Structure 1
Amino acid sequence: MKGWDLTLDLRAPSPTPLFVRIARALEEDIRRGRLPPGAPLPGSRTLAESLGVHRNTVIAAYRELETQGWITTSAARATFVSPSLPEVPARSSAGVPRPVMPSQVGFSLPSAPLRRERPMPPPGTLVLAGGVPDVRLLPASALARAYRRALKLHGKRLLDYGDTSGHPRLRAALAEMLSSLRGLAVRADDLIITRGSQGALDLVARTLLRTGDTVAVEAIGYRPAWHALQLSGAHLVPIPVDGEGLRVDALEALSRRTPVRAVYLTPHHHYPTTVTLSPARRLALLAWARTHRVALIEDDYDHEFHYEGRPVLPLASADREGLVLYVGTLSKVLAPALRLGFLAAPRPFLERALGVREAVDRQGDSALEAAVAELLEEGEVQRHVRKMRGVYHERRDALVRALERELSGALTVSPPAGGMALWAPCVPDVDAEAWVRAGQEVGVAFLPGGAFSFDGRPIPAVRLGFAALKESELAEAVYRMARALSLLRAQIASS
């Protein structure tokens, strides 16, 4: 609690001396974990000033606590909670003190909690995380300079309440990027800046969906997006994905059974298999959505990273009827922690979404948005993207070579045309889930196919990200994967 006043509950019968009330309040705070063993306590003068009492009163309270073994005083006269607390029963008048936070809630919760992402691996683990950029290569100095300039020149305005849509300069710069690279005819007013693409998906779900609405999703796909849709009360229906992307014929069959409100999909690089939705299916999907008046939620999460052939333009670039709600992010281009995403949509939808945004989040980080806008205007982001495209292309090839060298008998490897990860089916005798668990024991983390299935069933495949690791790190990660598989097979053979 360094630098803060220490507040205490001194309510007690008035005949109780004040120094005793202070001592008891501190004792109870130590008992319940608010003040943990070894924690520093404010000096007697500082605590006296914050409580509005005489210093001698605090000194008397501290002496009482020290006598009982609750606190200690160092040679420099600093005061700390004792490292070893006395073993004494709680006073009956106070009851049993509760821990820092109750272990249970006192009210009912929804029966099915959302499945959370897997915990962070221990230090030293090589993480083949899909869709994560190498933040070590971020032009952090340029971003820091732009951030300082933004605060220096416009600090008063940027630190006040701002535009719910996002900083106008960033929206204008992103509109230019989307128009140039992705073929979208958008202006600054057609965009809302959000806290990452997940913030955009949440905003779409809150604005578009009502309890019971049917939303079609890819049967193998992005679970956090499914969660955002489910939290709005939607009923999700998985649609199969094959080598040409989402099965539009399955969508048509679904719409004959029940009205469909929306479809969520990742058509450019399907998450997680990296398959691109074929031209014929893109046309069929748009025609079907137009006929049935269905919203298409297009998540274009890594458009800039395409290595072979021409990048495929988004569905939104061919949308003439206002069907597509286009979600994107700068997390892959820059860094996930910046939490910068965007939503492009017809103005009537954005007006409703802005009302929702004001009630839930109000606005983003105006200073950060201004700084990133400057980097876009000066071409810094564009240069970084071109550099990273080359780096990630080389890393993709390095991962493929390592897999073919170490694991050719365990995986089928096909280099993806774009993206930041690859999808590798396993041979029949390899249990992907068990392999992942074995990998954790030797310091490598990756995900099994079942982590992306709608119903949680195992899928004999793994997803391996290559963007966040250097070529030497990728080689070591694959070596550890091979070692884990050997250990797993040996364990199975001996059982």
Structure 2
Amino acid sequence: MDSPVLVPYQSFIQVDRSSATPVYLQVAHQLINAIQRGYLMDGHKLPGSRKMGKLLGLNRNTVVASYAELDAQGWLKTHPSRGAFISNGKTGKPRKFTTKSGPPVAAYPRHPGFDFRKWNVLDNPFDHSSARLTFDDGLPDTRLSHVDYLSRLFHTNMKRRRNLAKLGYMPTAGSEYYQENLANFLNLTRGLHIARKNLLVTRSLELSIYIVAETLISPGDCVVVGELSYFATNMIFQKAGARILTVPLDAEGILTDALREHCERQPIRMLYITPHHHYPTTVALSARRRIELLELSAMFGFIILEDDYDYDFHYDGSPLLPMASADSEGMVVYVGTFGKSMASGFRSGFIVAPEALINEMAKLLGIMDRYGDVLTELALGELIAEGEMHRYLRKTTAEYRARRDRLAELLDGQLDGAVQFIKPSGGLAIWTRWPRGVNLMRFARECLTEGLCIPRFLLYQTDEHCAMRLGFGSLTADELAQAVNIMRDGLERISATLPVR
């Protein structure tokens, strides 16, 4: 048996007096760690409390408390007049304390001891920066969120006795009250004709698309997207094993003739489309092409996954109704976000589809998110029922229209015609086209030095495109002015280094 003096306790029992964990528990936990890692074996005698206290520079009573904790957990047996011995530890020859092995302090492994699948297609594309200004791809301003009103709704729902039972596990996913109100809201604003049974509520748009992909796509299936499309959705399709095909776009949206050619060459399982304002170009799909897509879907049997991610934001007249509102063949699955105009913590995703499909997707959601977010859903349900959502959207839409107009004015006035764009009829972003010779990554780095972050996922630089999607919703008029001034200066510095043609 090893002699206690040969064990360098002071090297692996390291006390942090600034920690919230009591010192006696720190000592106990590190001794347990040494036992579990094979440094202290079954039957090993620990130093007496006085001696251990002297070794560690601790009060004897602290060591006594540590030993008592080890005894209570079954790691130690104390025998009167004989001392304290490790119990329930490992038997055999103990591991040596060497510089190479290092002290057995508690440290979580950096790498697993087994092989695992790596999701290369899901690498995080988002940039994070501490810059004072940041462009995004079209997010709302959380400063305009209905926080006070929603806070009152949360507080009220928490106090209602009848809601307490709803906060636990329910046989049906989510709040039926919210589902009923959401169905009514979608029918009123989007011309749908759905009931609660046609609706599945999720926590986000991306989760909705993931559930649709996992349910409807098999490895090797062909999924068609726009030549430029939402990168997160493409990642989800690739994760599901889909083979992604693209179709070009013009001023009326995706080219239906190109889609027909794909259909005639091979079976197409799904078309993903953002018809209200195509992501990222903000082009609206024309009424004529919407009809053509529905006819092609019925003819060739492919699913239309319609994503109306920013339907609530329209400024110039009434928007075209979703394709789902005209679907008579059951070929359209409609996904979106309720509360997109509010902070992300107050939003929810949804899927609209025929009842039989909703029932199958609900099984997957039930495994992934058994409890949902009932409290938020109850508050959102009241936001709809009391008519507050409609009032809030009217108010914020006026503000976002003003911000769209301000950014368009700044781009025209400050960049001397170098940037081309068409002012969108809705949404929270403007698609801008830049001079071919501009290296957008270098331009973004120039802007970052002056406090403006332009994330790389906003940049589209290929043989065919030199463009940026600039979100205006999350920046005030003054912030937009500062951002465009930084862009102007950055463009001047970049242009000065370009070769003269």
User: TM-score, with normalisation over the residues of structure 2?
Assistant: 0.81
Q: Secondary structure at the match of 1:173?
A: helix
* Amino acid in structure 2 at the alignment position of 1:387: K
**Does structure 1 residue 433 correspond to structure 2 residue 433?**
no
Instruction: Give the direction of change, closer, same or farther, for the CA distance of 1:308–1:448 in structure 2 (3 Å limit).
Output: farther
Q: Say whether 1:64 aligns with 2:55.
A: yes
Q: Distance in 2 between matches of 1:63 and 1:440?
A: 55
Unpaired runs of 5+ residues, structure 1, are 1-12, 68-89
1:197 aligns with 2:205: yes
- 2:183 corresponds to which of 144, 158, 175: 175
C-alpha displacement of 1:21: 9.3
* Percent sequence identity over aligned pairs: 31
Alpha-carbon separation, structure 1, partners of 2:119 and 2:342: 38
Structure 2 stretches lacking a partner, 5+ long = 33-46, 59-95
Counterpart of 1:83 in structure 2 is none
Aligned to 1:288: 296
| Closer/same/farther in 2, CA of residues 203 and 161 from structure 1, 3 Å limit | same
Please give the per-residue CA displacement for 1:422-451, whole angstroms capped at 9, x wherever unaligned: 001113333333222222222212356874
Describe the superposition over 1:43-96 as per-residue Cα deviations: whole angstroms up to 9, x where unpaired: 34666899999xx978865653449xxxxxxxxxxxxxxxxxxxxxx9329824
Check if 1:322 corresponds to 2:330. Answer: yes
Q: What's the offset of the Cα at 1:155?
A: 4.9
Q: Give how far 1:109 is off.
A: 3.8
Shift in alpha-carbon separation, 1:105–1:316, aligned structure 2, 3 A: farther
Give the Å deviation of 1:301. 0.5
Give the structure 1 partner of residue 233 of structure 2: 225
Aligned length: 446
Secondary structure at the aligned position of 1:313 is classed as coil
Residue 381 of structure 1 deviates from its aligned partner by 1.8
1:470 Cα deviation from its structure 2 partner: 0.7
Say whether residues 1:469 and 2:448 are aligned partners: no
CA distance change for structure 1 residues 119 and 51 in 2, over 3 Å: closer, same or farther? Answer: closer
Q: For 1:26 and 1:52, locate their aligned partners in 2 and report how far apart those are by CA, in whole Å.
A: 7
Tell me the amino acid that sits aligned with residue 284 of structure 1.
Answer: E
- Structure 2 Cα separation of the partners of residues 466 and 379 of structure 1: 27
Q: How does 1:261-276 map to 2 (within 5 A)?
A: 261-276=269-284
Q: Give the corresponding residue for 2:145.
A: 138
- Shift of the alpha carbon at 1:136? 0.5
User: What amino acid sits opposite 2:304 in the alignment?
Assistant: L
1:308 is matched with: 316
Contact 2:187 2:193 in 1 (8 A): yes
Residues 60, 462 of structure 1: CA spacing in aligned structure 2 closer, same or farther, 3 A cutoff?
farther
Q: Is the 8 A contact 2:459 2:469 kept in 1?
A: no
Pairwise CA distance, 1:409: 2.8
Moved more, 363-372 or 319-328: 363-372
CA-CA distance at 1:25 after TM superposition: 5.5
Change (3 A) 1:166 1:449: closer
C-alpha displacement of 1:115: 3.8
Cα 1:14–1:249 change in 2 (3 A) is: farther
Distance 1:45 1:315, change over 3 A: same
Deviations 1:187-211 (A, max 9, x none): 1221111011011000101111111
User: How many Å separate the matches in 2 of 1:387 and 1:216?
Assistant: 37
Aligned position for 2:13: 26
Q: Evaluate the alpha carbon distance shift between residue 178 and residue 59 of structure 1 in structure 2; reply closer, same or farther with a 3 A threshold.
A: farther
Alpha-carbon distance in 2 for matches of 1:404, 1:120: 28
Out of 42, 46, 61, the position equivalent to 2:21 is: 42
Asked if 1 retains the 8 angstrom alpha-carbon contact of 2:447 and 2:490, the reply is: yes
Greater Rg over alpha carbons, structure: 2
Amino acid at match of 1:137: L
In the alignment, which residue of structure 1 is the partner of 2:345? 337
How far apart, in 1, do the equivalents of 2:260 and 2:293 lie? Answer: 9
User: Among residues 459, 465, 479, which one is paired with 2:465 in the alignment?
Assistant: 459
Compute the RMSD of aligned alpha carbons.
Answer: 3.2
**1:8-407 to 2 correspondences below 5 Å:** 26-27=13-14, 39-40=18-19, 42-44=21-23, 63-66=54-57, 91-92=97-98, 95-96=101-102, 100-102=108-110, 106-107=114-115, 109-110=117-118, 112-124=120-132, 126-153=133-160, 154-162=162-170, 164-407=172-415
Q: Give the 3-state SS of the residue equivalent to 1:325 in structure 2.
A: strand
